[in-house]
């Protein structure tokens, strides 16, 4: 890592953490998803960081990869179980963090605690050189002891500069793997607990996209869209909302780019059996003796 890299990482992590709390605090009955993500993303920019990926709002059996489209009117309802997952970066050093809240009711307190406790238990033992399956095993055991299952096909991940999912994947169960966590790296640990069978599958397309590469002959608005994406951070995910002001007919334009293979669209991920899902996530800097929580 560059000399000032860790300092920027700490700063980005701290902003992401405050943005997560801000966003989760706004989740209330009748508030729109859009209001929450717009407030979170404006806050990140106002703090002098960049938004690392569109703020994810995943409700009930949706585990991840949902952000509202421009003008979307969907509102939180009483009893919703809401994951707020935010990312901020400074100069490419990304803080990625999430928490779960329930709207009004207290039906899923234990389920929420399960992913939180799993993350805390993992953080207690994490250090350079620990095996990734040990981390997964701790996450799994913590959830099982509370009567829930981990989602086995969602993982934590290494983070490198301008690269949100780099290098290692950290399982949320004991996958019997033999990989180790290197000291000096940054990882996001993100346990997902569920009342269901413990697996997600791809549902329809979300409003979260990633640039692949320009292909074929482009229409004027497609060229403008790609140009806009590339003047931002071409390696990081983006949303339709971020192009709305500059690109005419943004939804149709993006559809065309997805069809042409220039842009990838992340699918919405739902629990296969319709189970409720909670998530908790921190970005950690791994040292020889433990870790520093960058998104505390
Ligand atoms: Mn995240
Ligand atoms: Mn993550």
Residues 131 and 110 in one domain: yes
Active site includes 190?
yes
Active site includes 85?
yes
Number of domains in the chain: 2
Lowest mean pLDDT among 40-44, 210-214, 248-252: 210-214
Residues 103 and 126 in one domain: yes
Task: Say which CATH number the domain at 23 has.
Answer: 3.90.230.10
Residues 189 and 59 in one domain: yes
Q: Residue 135 — pLDDT band, cuts 50, 70, 90?
A: very high
Q: Which ligand approaches the C-alpha of residue 187 most closely?
A: 2
Task: Say which CATH number the domain at 239 has.
Answer: 1.10.10.10
Q: In the structure encoding, which two tokens stand for residue 229, read together?
A: 């994406």
Lowest mean pLDDT among 72-86, 109-123, 213-227, 267-281: 213-227
Residues 88 and 50 in one domain: yes
Residues 33 and 56 in one domain: yes
Distance 265 CA to ligand 1 centre (A): 17
pLDDT greater than 80 at residue 231: no
Q: Which ligand approaches the C-alpha of residue 156 most closely?
A: 2
Q: Which ligand approaches the C-alpha of residue 165 most closely?
A: 2
Distance 272 CA to ligand 1 centre (A): 20
Q: Which ligand approaches the C-alpha of residue 159 most closely?
A: 2
Residues 42 and 119 in one domain: yes
Span 28-35, average pLDDT: 98
pLDDT greater than 80 at residue 232: no
Catalytic residue among 35, 165, 244, 251: 165
Catalytic residue among 96, 199, 221, 271: 96
- pLDDT tens sequence across 151-193: 999 999 999 999 999 989 999 999 999 999 999 999 999 999 9
The answer for residues whose C-beta is within 8 angstroms of residue 216's C-beta and 6 or more apart is 260, 262
Residues 148 and 127 in one domain: yes
Residues 165 and 261 in one domain: no
Catalytic residue among 174, 190, 240, 271: 190
Span 49-58, average pLDDT: 97
Residues 111 and 224 in one domain: no
Q: Which ligand approaches the C-alpha of residue 99 most closely?
A: 1
Q: What is the 3-state secondary structure (H, E, C) of 112-141?
A: HHHHHHHHHHHHHHCCCCCEHHHHHHHHHH
Average pLDDT in the chain: 95
Distance CA 143, CA 55 (A): 26
pLDDT greater than 70 at residue 3: no
How high is the pLDDT of residue 1? 64
Q: Residue 226 — pLDDT band, cuts 50, 70, 90?
A: confident
Backbone CA torsion sign across 197, 202, 203, 206: positive
Lowest mean pLDDT among 83-92, 107-116, 229-238, 250-259: 229-238
- pLDDT tens sequence across 275-292: 999 999 999 999 999 999
Indicate the pTM of the whole model: 0.96
| DSSP H or E segment with residue 165 | strand 163-170
Active site includes 65?
no
The answer for residues whose C-beta is within 8 angstroms of residue 156's C-beta and 6 or more apart is 135, 169, 170, 171, 172, 187, 188, 189, 190, 191, 281
Residues 156 and 179 in one domain: yes
Distance 144 CA to ligand 1 centre (A): 23
Distance 249 CA to ligand 2 centre (A): 30
Report the alpha-carbon angle 81-84-87, nearest 5.
165
Q: Residue 196 — pLDDT band, cuts 50, 70, 90?
A: very high
Q: Residue 145 — pLDDT band, cuts 50, 70, 90?
A: very high
Distance 252 CA to ligand 1 centre (A): 27
Domain hosting 88: range is 3-202+269-293
How high is the pLDDT of residue 217? 84
Span 6-33, average pLDDT: 98
Q: Indicate the burial class of 65 (C-beta count within 10 angstroms; 0-12, 13-18, 19 or more).
A: buried
Catalytic residue among 61, 85, 102, 174: 85
pLDDT greater than 70 at residue 252: yes
Residues 178 and 61 in one domain: yes
Distance 218 CA to ligand 1 centre (A): 33
How high is the pLDDT of residue 2? 59
Active site includes 165?
yes
Active site includes 89?
no
Residues 246 and 211 in one domain: yes
């Amino acid at each position: 890592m560059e000399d000032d890299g860790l300092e920027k990482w700490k700063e980005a992590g701290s902003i992401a953490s405050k943005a997560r709390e801000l966003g989760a605090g706004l989740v209330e009955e009748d508030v729109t998803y859009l209001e929450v993500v717009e407030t979170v993303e404006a806050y990140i920019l106002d703090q002098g960081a960049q938004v690392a990926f569109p703020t994810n709002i995943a409700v009930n059996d949706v585990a991840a990869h949902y952000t509202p489209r421009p003008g979307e009117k969907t509102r939180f309802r009483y009893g919703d179980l809401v994951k707020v997952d935010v990312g901020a970066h400074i100069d490419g050093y990304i803080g990625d963090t999430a928490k779960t809240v329930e709207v009004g009711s207290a039906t899923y307190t234990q389920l929420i605690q399960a992913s939180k406790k799993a993350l805390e238990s993992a953080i207690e033992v994490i250090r350079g050189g620990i095996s990734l399956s040990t981390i997964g095993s701790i996450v799994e055991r913590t959830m099982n002891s509370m009567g829930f299952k981990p989602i086995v096909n969602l993982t934590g991940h290494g983070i490198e500069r301008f690269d949100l999912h780099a290098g290692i994947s950290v399982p949320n169960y004991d996958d019997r793997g033999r990989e180790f966590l290197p000291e000096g790296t940054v990882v996001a640990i993100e346990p997902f607990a569920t009342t269901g069978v413990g697996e997600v599958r791809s549902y329809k397309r979300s409003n979260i996209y990633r640039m692949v590469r320009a292909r074929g002959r482009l229409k004027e608005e497609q060229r403008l869209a790609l140009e806009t994406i590339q003047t931002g951070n071409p390696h990081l995910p983006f949303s339709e909302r971020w192009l709305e002001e500059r690109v005419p007919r943004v939804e149709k334009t993006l559809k065309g780019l997805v069809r042409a293979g220039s842009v990838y669209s992340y699918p919405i991920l739902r629990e296969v059996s319709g189970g409720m899902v909670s998530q908790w996530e921190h970005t950690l800097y791994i040292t020889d003796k433990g870790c520093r929580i960058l998104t505390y």
